[in-house]
Structures are given as structure tokens and as C-alpha cells.
Structure 1
Amino acid sequence: MNNEKPGILVTGASGFIGRHFVIAVSEHFRLFCIARRSQKEAGVPHSDNISWIQADITKMENLLSAANHIKENGGVDYVLHLAGYYDFTMDDNPAYENTNVGGTLNILKMSQQLEVKHFIFSSSLAACKFPPRGKSLTETSPTDADFPYARSKGRSEWVIRKHAGALSCSIVRLAAVYSDWCENPPLNMILKKWLTGNKLISRALPGKGASAMPYIHIKDLNKMFLRIIEISDQLSGINTFIASPQGSVSHMELFKTATKYYYGREIEPLLVPKPLASASLAVWQFWNGLTGKASLEQPWMADYIDKKLNVDASVTYRTTGWQPSPRYHILRRMLFLTENMKNHPNNWAFRNESLLKRFATRKSTLIYDIMMEERRAAIDRIADEITAAENISRFPHYSQMDPDLLKWDIHLHYQMLAATVKSRDRSLVQNFAQIIATHKYMEGFNAAEVKNFVITIGKAVKKILVAKPQLQEHGRRQSRRIDDLIILTIQFAVDEVEDTFEILKASPPDHMTENKPVESIERSEPVRRMIRRLEDICGDSMMMPVKNHMRNLQ
């Protein structure tokens, strides 16, 4: 990373908004990205300016490790807190309180510890009740909407106002965010129904078609975040801004514009009276329940038929000097959306269904957490097994290593396995196995000993996991998951070790043909690069024993 560039901590970096922001600004900032998914899963290209940390913002211990890593790598100047939970069921999921409220408090505390200049929080206009007819929401509107997501955003804003202290903050209430590929589930749902659905149903609009809300293009939103950062020295205390064009856009306007661009002509909608539309939503949910199909259309949506979420963001415009671009207004941009939907259906489906699929709970995260809890004891047990008298013939070189260096080596392999579990990216192991096998070959190890070393670590980890009660409740299915994440990854590493040894035997490295001294593995630059990559995935404190050992050897 270039420490001369300003640094931004971005939470929720694997989400729609976070991913677009990170990609857009990665050339100009050092970015420390906190996310539940891996960088590869999120579709964010590698960059020297991006440090990707997989962490759960509800766990302060994870964030403290991440904070240490950030401090050691130049710190950050700004925080953009995008992480949050949302679903369409209207159920009061505990994640609303734990992630949205508790997570915000944790990130706020982390920001204070990092001594950042400015904290930006992405709230939502949905946290506010629809204004009375003829009125508009403004920056001073209360967060008084009464459904789980709205309450969690309102409480998160309250947390910031109460606990920010001297830290200057900007609360940004977002309109519905979309891109040229849509990437907004409700908008995608109605466009699919209008443009690719049943001919009769596709013409149906509930009520008078007057349901309206504001939309903001992701490029306009990125510019707003950057503008807040640019003027942050002029902002003090708690500021509330609205990221939205003025007014709102109705379903009728969206329908006529979308059908005109898609079909080449405007299509007259079929207006469905509100009582009938409400009944249809209830029947539709009942049918989906019988068939096991998931749908974003829910009965509660009937309450918003013909209501308008009008916005007046003039104070935001005056204060920040930012304003949405007319060319990114959704009615003008609908041409791009319909072209992409019609001519690139696979890419459209990938962006709106596959890439945006939520990973609210993942067993791989639970397995990773257990591995971290058991790491120290596991490393000790593995070291004891390798140095046991009955195993000296299997590990002639490993058993003669300095005890601390042996544990360092085990730790490195263990951490690589854990990082692969967390990121679900086995390409990490491929590169790692090649580096390790090359060094071991030059140090006189044979392939069988290195393979046995790797297999022993894998078996030890599996033994730990299968004994854990929290992983036993799913029985055979969970056992298969452990085999997939641990044993298959170990097999992947073993195959790479064998391949590397075969290649090296056929064409030995220059060090060996020229009788040059072999660089010790702990001083190897490729290994150091690998450690830095592990730090990005796992957080600094998890690699501190390795780094301390390397310092002691210098």
C-alpha cells in the first residue's frame, strides 16, 4: 500500500454499494475493507491499495484485531459504514439489533480507537414514515417508521448521536440505490414482471399506479460519499444528509418508461384496485408457501399502494455542494437498464441473483471461529505428534527442527487452512503449497514427509471440529461440509506439493545447481507476502506469533 494516499475503512464492502465504491475509488485511496464474504466472492478485483478483512462487525474482538492490522499499515482517515442487515419478511430478526445497531456501535468505537477524521453512516429514507400528501421528507424528518429494518436504522442513528463524542459524523439517508444493471431486488422484481412476465399480469399496476419513491444511481452516491470526505474538515458534530434526487418516481412513470424502451412503444397498464391487489398479494404468498418458492412480493406491501415517499434534499445540496446528475435520473437511465436486461440476460441474472445472494449465516464462518478458538492447543498437539518417538521415521526433518520454528511452521499451515475455510478460495492453498514445497525441497525434505506433515494438520483439525457440539446438530450433512472445507483442501495442497516436487526434480532451482546457500523459509519474501495476504483475510492479531518469531530471527 502507498501510505501517502488517504485511508478509508469500508464496512459492508462485499455488498452492492460497498463493492461499487471500492472498485470506483481504489486508485485514489488506501482501502481497508471489512466484509463477511471474501474479495473473490464479492467480485472485487485485486489491488495493491485494497486490504480485505473478513470479519463479523457484531464481534468486537474481530474488530480489535482488524484495528491493530489497520494501525500497522498506515491507519485510516475516514470510515464509511455500509454494513447492515435487511430482508423482506417484516419479521423482527435478531440481526437487525445485533448487526445494524450493535454493529454500528462497534464500528463507531473502532473508529474512535483509530482516531479517524470523519465517520459516514449509511442510513435509509425507509427509516422515516411516508410524509402526508403534498409534503416531503427532509433532513430533519424523524426516523419514525415502525417496521424492523426502519427501527434498526433509527436506533443506529440514535447510537451515533449518543456515542460519537468528539468524532464528527455524517448520517446519510439513502434513496433506493440502483445501477445500470439494476442490482436492486425490488426494482429488479417489478422490471422482470413488467418486461418478461405473463402478458396480462405484466400490465398490472396496483391501485392508481401512484406508488412512488426516490431512486439514486450508484455513481451519484459514490460522488456524494467522496464529496463528504472532501469537505469533512468543514463538518463538525453530527450532520444528516439525504442521498436522493428531489421528489419521487411513481410506478406509472417507471412502467411507461421501461416498456417504451424495452418494446419500442408505450404500453397502457392495467390498473388493479387496491383491495384486489391486496388480496392478490395474500394469495400469491399462500401459493408460494405451498410450492416452496421464495418471492419478494409480500402482503405488507399493500399498505404502501399509491403512497409517495417524496423528498426535499435542498439542505443537503446547499451544505455539501453535491447534487445528483440529471443523466443518472432513473427515468433517463432506464434506457441503459432495459438494454442490459434485454441484450445481456445472463450477466443481468448473475448481477441480480447470483452475485447479490445473501450469506446471512454460513457454516464455514462457524468452522473458522472454532479453528481460531482451538488454534493454540491444536498447534501444541500437532507439534507433539510430529516429534513423538514413533513418528520420527515419518518426519525425519520436521522432528529435528527448533521447537519454536516447528510451531511457527505448523501455525503457518494451520492459518492457511483457516483462511481458506473463511474465504472459500482454494487458490490460496495452491500458491502457498508451491512456495512451501519449493523451500522444503531445497532444504532436503522429500515429498512424502511434506505430504505427511500437511495431512497430519488436516486430520487434527477435523478431529477438533467433529467433536464440537455446535457442529454435530446437523449430523452427516455437517460432516460432509467439514470434509469439503478441510479434507478436500488438504488433498488440494498435497497434490500441489507432489506436482512441485516433480517439477523441481526435473529442473532443480539455481540455488541447488550453483551450491548457493538456501534462504530460510521465515526470511523468504514470497512467504512474507503470503503472510500479509493472510493478515488481510484474518486480521493482524491472528498472525502476530508468526511475525514475532520472524522478528526474533532477524
Structure 2
Amino acid sequence: MAKSEKPVVLITGAAGGIGTALASELQPDYAIVGLDMEGKQADFPLADVDLSDAASVRKALETIAETHGRAFAAVIHLAAYFDFTGEDNPLYQSVNVDGTKHLLDALQEFEVERFIYSGTMLVHRAGKPGETIDEDAPLDPQWAYPISKAKAEDAIRAHHGKIPYALLHLAGLYDDESAVPTLAHQITRIYERDLKSRLYSGDKRAGQSFIHRDDMMRLFRLAVEKRNELPADVTLLAGEEDAIAYEDMQDRIGQLIHGKNEWATISVPKPIAKVGAWIEEKAEPIIPDAIDKGEKPFIRPFMIDMASDHYSLDISRARTLLGWEPRRGILETLPSIVAALKASPAEWYEKHGITPPSSLESAKSCFSYALSKSI
């Protein structure tokens, strides 16, 4: 492709769901190029990269330079390894931390007006119900994923060189049909009337901020548009200011799914809950796959320690520097998310990577059998 007259924006992890949505958001005004793993495809120029390999990163950037030059209005770093096991994984270091270092080291040979990092609010120490946190709140990540994100930010500070950067500390993502794993599993537990949906080991007044995908896209767009107006190094918290209490979320989900205004939630002491989670996790290998389908339990002991974590955000800095504030709300969007689940349960479970209950699998099998007979 010939060089574009539009400013060029480079996105890492560009072929993923967030990357493609962000590309669509920016394409009217910017030429989008991307980096992603080998075999990924997108409707804009994409170069294969292995972020854990410094030589691969340099080669990928040179490939981009051949067609789009060596000047980027912004580099948006989305690519990261993530799982919800709570366990450490070598990819947290090689991709999230070392990959960020390799990318910035290679970018020193380019002109970059702003490096924008997709971070998480979970790098901050959690507050308590009634408190809010801002960008000056202490950093105290509690499990493998946010620990790796905090280390990646350390790498940015050490290796950004001449490149200005913005660290976006984002709340939990959702859209009109899907939600982050914690909320998705909360919804499915209530949908299945699972006993665990009635139990909670933390402060039921605690909650976490969310951010709708549309609001996140607008946040990134504003960060790109105002790239030269921001401080050279800036951190911005972004999410809905009100953190909905776990108990209130339970009631709302129960009402939407089962028509009950209250979904009674019983407090369980943390030591008992941790023993139960530990037993469930250790028992998984001996439970027949016909029962649990080989899936490890979602709730792990490390989650119980964080059950009372509260993330209510002060977003005044994002409002002042970017003119950004959320336009969507999780409570207003929950009916749409639940409607998507009810409309196509199997598809919703698959989209969220959750093993469906046996009853749902049986219904799906019967439908498939009936359909095959009618063809």
C-alpha cells in the first residue's frame, strides 16, 4: 500500500475484538496499521509479531515502515496475556512485561507522538465502600494479571525514551451483550440457580467500576486526538464513577432473569469460603468429566481474599484533560446483556468461554437432532 496522507496509528493486538473495534472508531480520520500474532487477519495492514522476541518486534515495525513510514501519531498498546486462574504464567513476563519493553526499545527508531497503554484499575490498592480512588492511590496489585500490568508500566517508564506516554487505568469492560468474566459468571450462577449464587464471602456493599465498550472507544479516540496536549507522562483512571454494590447487582440480575426483586445472598466467613474453594479446586481432577466437563471451578481461593475490594473511581483527571466521562451505565445495560443470554443461551455461554450446564447441552443436542431430521 502507498503511504497514507492521514496520520498513522499503530495498534498492537489489533486483530482482537477491542483492536478491531478501535480500528473502526479511528479509521475515518487515521490510517490504521496493526501488529498481532501470526495467522491473525484484519481489514487493515497487519504485521505478524512475537512480542516476546525483540528481533520479531523490530522486523514487524520495519515491515510497517516500508508502506507507512516511520512516523506514528500514536501507538496504542493493547496486546497482553490474560487468564483468570490467578496463577502466574511465563507469558505474563514474556508478553506483558518484556513485550512492552521490546516494543518501546524498537520504537526509539521511529517518531511517535504518543504511546498509549491499555492498563487496568486493578493495579491500584482497592478502597472500601464509601471511598473513591484516584490516580494517586497507591499501587498494590493483588494477583498475577494486574501485577504483570504494573510491571509493564514500570517498563514503560524505564524505556519510553523520547516518547510521551499515557497510561489508561481502565475499569471492567462490558457491552450490550457481554461482560467481563467476574460479572459473566455472576450472571450464569444466578441463571442456573447455582447454590454458589446465594453465597458471598466479602462485604456485600463492595463493588467495582465498569466501562462500556463505546465509552472506552471514545476514551482512546480522545487520547489520540489530544495526544499533543496531554502532559508528557500521564495516568488516567477511566470508568463509571458509581461502583454498584455486589448485593444490588445480585438483586438486579435475579429480577431480570427470574422476576424476583431480591436474590438473597448469605454471608460466608472467608476462612470457610477459602476451604470450600480449595476443596472444589483440588477435587476437580477426580470428578468425572461427564459431571463437570473437565472445567476447573471459576472461583479460586485468591478471589476470596479480594471479595471486599471496592473500586469506585474519581475520573476528574480524565474529565479535565480529555473532556471524557462515561455516557453508558452498567445497570441500564444489564437488561440488554440478560436479554442476549435468554435469546441464545448456548451462544452466550460460548462467547464468554463458560461451560454450559448439562440441561442446556441436552437442549442443544435435541435441537440439533431435530434439525438434522428435518433437512
Aligned pair partner of 1:52 in 46, 49, 70: 46
- Aligned 1:307-456 pairs, distance under 5 A: 307-325=309-327, 328-353=328-353
In the alignment, the residues of structure 2 paired with residue 82 and residue 186 of structure 1 have an alpha-carbon distance, to the nearest angstrom, of: 20
Aligned to 1:7: 8
Aligned to 2:74: 78
In the alignment, the residues of structure 1 paired with residue 23 and residue 119 of structure 2 have an alpha-carbon distance, to the nearest angstrom, of: 19
* Structure 2 counterpart of 1:157, one-letter code: E
In the alignment, the residues of structure 1 paired with residue 224 and residue 112 of structure 2 have an alpha-carbon distance, to the nearest angstrom, of: 12
Q: TM-score, normalised by structure 2?
A: 0.84
Task: Note closer, same or farther for the CA distance 1:208–1:269 as it changes in structure 2 (3 Å cut).
Answer: farther
* Structure 1 counterpart of 2:7, one-letter code: P
In the alignment, the residues of structure 2 paired with residue 298 and residue 221 of structure 1 have an alpha-carbon distance, to the nearest angstrom, of: 29
In the alignment, the residues of structure 2 paired with residue 138 and residue 314 of structure 1 have an alpha-carbon distance, to the nearest angstrom, of: 8
For structure 1, the 5+ residue unaligned runs are 41-45, 355-554
Task: Note closer, same or farther for the CA distance 1:274–1:37 as it changes in structure 2 (3 Å cut).
Answer: farther
Aligned to 2:233: 238
* Structure 1 counterpart of 2:105, one-letter code: K
Aligned pair partner of 2:61 in 46, 67, 73: 67
The structure that is helix-richer by fraction is 1
Task: Note closer, same or farther for the CA distance 1:329–1:54 as it changes in structure 2 (3 Å cut).
Answer: same
Q: Offset of 1:300 from its aligned partner?
A: 1.0
In the alignment, the residues of structure 1 paired with residue 314 and residue 222 of structure 2 have an alpha-carbon distance, to the nearest angstrom, of: 19
In the alignment, the residues of structure 1 paired with residue 285 and residue 267 of structure 2 have an alpha-carbon distance, to the nearest angstrom, of: 23
1:141 equivalent to 2:137? Answer yes
1:151 equivalent to 2:152? Answer no
| CA deviation string 1:510-544 (max 9, x = no partner) | xxxxxxxxxxxxxxxxxxxxxxxxxxxxxxxxxxx
Q: Offset of 1:162 from its aligned partner?
A: 2.2
Q: TM-score, normalised by structure 1?
A: 0.58
SS in 2 for 1:157: helix
Q: Offset of 1:209 from its aligned partner?
A: 2.4
Aligned to 2:26: 25
1:191 equivalent to 2:193? Answer no
Q: Is the 8 A contact 2:247 2:265 kept in 1?
A: no
SS in 2 for 1:300: helix
- Aligned 1:218-257 pairs, distance under 5 A: 218-257=213-252
In the alignment, the residues of structure 2 paired with residue 239 and residue 208 of structure 1 have an alpha-carbon distance, to the nearest angstrom, of: 33
Aligned pair partner of 2:104 in 103, 108, 111: 108
In the alignment, the residues of structure 1 paired with residue 196 and residue 339 of structure 2 have an alpha-carbon distance, to the nearest angstrom, of: 22
In the alignment, the residues of structure 2 paired with residue 37 and residue 333 of structure 1 have an alpha-carbon distance, to the nearest angstrom, of: 35
In the alignment, the residues of structure 2 paired with residue 133 and residue 261 of structure 1 have an alpha-carbon distance, to the nearest angstrom, of: 25
Q: Is the 8 A contact 1:34 1:54 kept in 2?
A: yes
Task: Note closer, same or farther for the CA distance 1:150–1:303 as it changes in structure 2 (3 Å cut).
Answer: same
In the alignment, the residues of structure 2 paired with residue 4 and residue 192 of structure 1 have an alpha-carbon distance, to the nearest angstrom, of: 48
Task: Note closer, same or farther for the CA distance 1:320–1:297 as it changes in structure 2 (3 Å cut).
Answer: same
* Structure 1 counterpart of 2:23, one-letter code: V
Q: Offset of 1:224 from its aligned partner?
A: 0.1
Pairwise CA RMSD: 2.2
Q: Is the 8 A contact 2:201 2:273 kept in 1?
A: yes
In the alignment, the residues of structure 1 paired with residue 162 and residue 49 of structure 2 have an alpha-carbon distance, to the nearest angstrom, of: 26
SS in 1 for 2:340: helix
Compare relative contact order (CA 8 Å, sep 6+) and give the higher one, 1 or 2: 2
SS in 2 for 1:239: strand
| CA deviation string 1:170-194 (max 9, x = no partner) | 0001111122221522221111111
In the alignment, the residues of structure 1 paired with residue 61 and residue 38 of structure 2 have an alpha-carbon distance, to the nearest angstrom, of: 19
Task: Note closer, same or farther for the CA distance 1:22–1:61 as it changes in structure 2 (3 Å cut).
Answer: same
Aligned to 1:489: none
Aligned to 1:212: 207
Aligned to 1:36: 37
Aligned to 2:300: 298
Q: Offset of 1:132 from its aligned partner?
A: 5.0
| CA deviation string 1:203-261 (max 9, x = no partner) | 33444523311111111111000001111111231110012121422221221222222
For structure 2, the 5+ residue unaligned runs are 288-293, 355-375
Task: Note closer, same or farther for the CA distance 1:183–1:52 as it changes in structure 2 (3 Å cut).
Answer: farther
Q: Is the 8 A contact 1:101 1:153 kept in 2?
A: yes
* Structure 1 counterpart of 2:219, one-letter code: M
In the alignment, the residues of structure 2 paired with residue 305 and residue 191 of structure 1 have an alpha-carbon distance, to the nearest angstrom, of: 16
- Aligned 1:113-132 pairs, distance under 5 A: 113-132=109-128
SS in 2 for 1:140: coil
In the alignment, the residues of structure 1 paired with residue 350 and residue 31 of structure 2 have an alpha-carbon distance, to the nearest angstrom, of: 29
Q: Offset of 1:146 from its aligned partner?
A: 4.1
Task: Note closer, same or farther for the CA distance 1:19–1:196 as it changes in structure 2 (3 Å cut).
Answer: farther
In the alignment, the residues of structure 2 paired with residue 272 and residue 340 of structure 1 have an alpha-carbon distance, to the nearest angstrom, of: 30
Q: Offset of 1:7 from its aligned partner?
A: 1.6
Q: How many residues align?
A: 344
Q: Identity of paired residues, percent? A: 25
Task: Note closer, same or farther for the CA distance 1:301–1:201 as it changes in structure 2 (3 Å cut).
Answer: closer
* Structure 1 counterpart of 2:342, one-letter code: K
Task: Note closer, same or farther for the CA distance 1:134–1:100 as it changes in structure 2 (3 Å cut).
Answer: same
Q: Is the 8 A contact 2:48 2:60 kept in 1?
A: no
In the alignment, the residues of structure 2 paired with residue 347 and residue 25 of structure 1 have an alpha-carbon distance, to the nearest angstrom, of: 29
| CA deviation string 1:9-54 (max 9, x = no partner) | 11122444223323443444322221226445xxxxx53xx11223
Task: Note closer, same or farther for the CA distance 1:274–1:261 as it changes in structure 2 (3 Å cut).
Answer: same
In the alignment, the residues of structure 2 paired with residue 263 and residue 310 of structure 1 have an alpha-carbon distance, to the nearest angstrom, of: 28
Q: Is the 8 A contact 1:81 1:122 kept in 2?
A: yes
Q: Is the 8 A contact 1:84 1:100 kept in 2?
A: yes
SS in 1 for 2:332: helix
* Structure 2 counterpart of 1:88, one-letter code: F
* Structure 1 counterpart of 2:96, one-letter code: N
SS in 2 for 1:213: coil
| CA deviation string 1:291-333 (max 9, x = no partner) | 34223211111112233122212122111111111xx211111
Q: Is the 8 A contact 2:230 2:321 kept in 1?
A: no
In the alignment, the residues of structure 2 paired with residue 183 and residue 218 of structure 1 have an alpha-carbon distance, to the nearest angstrom, of: 10
In the alignment, the residues of structure 1 paired with residue 38 and residue 284 of structure 2 have an alpha-carbon distance, to the nearest angstrom, of: 29
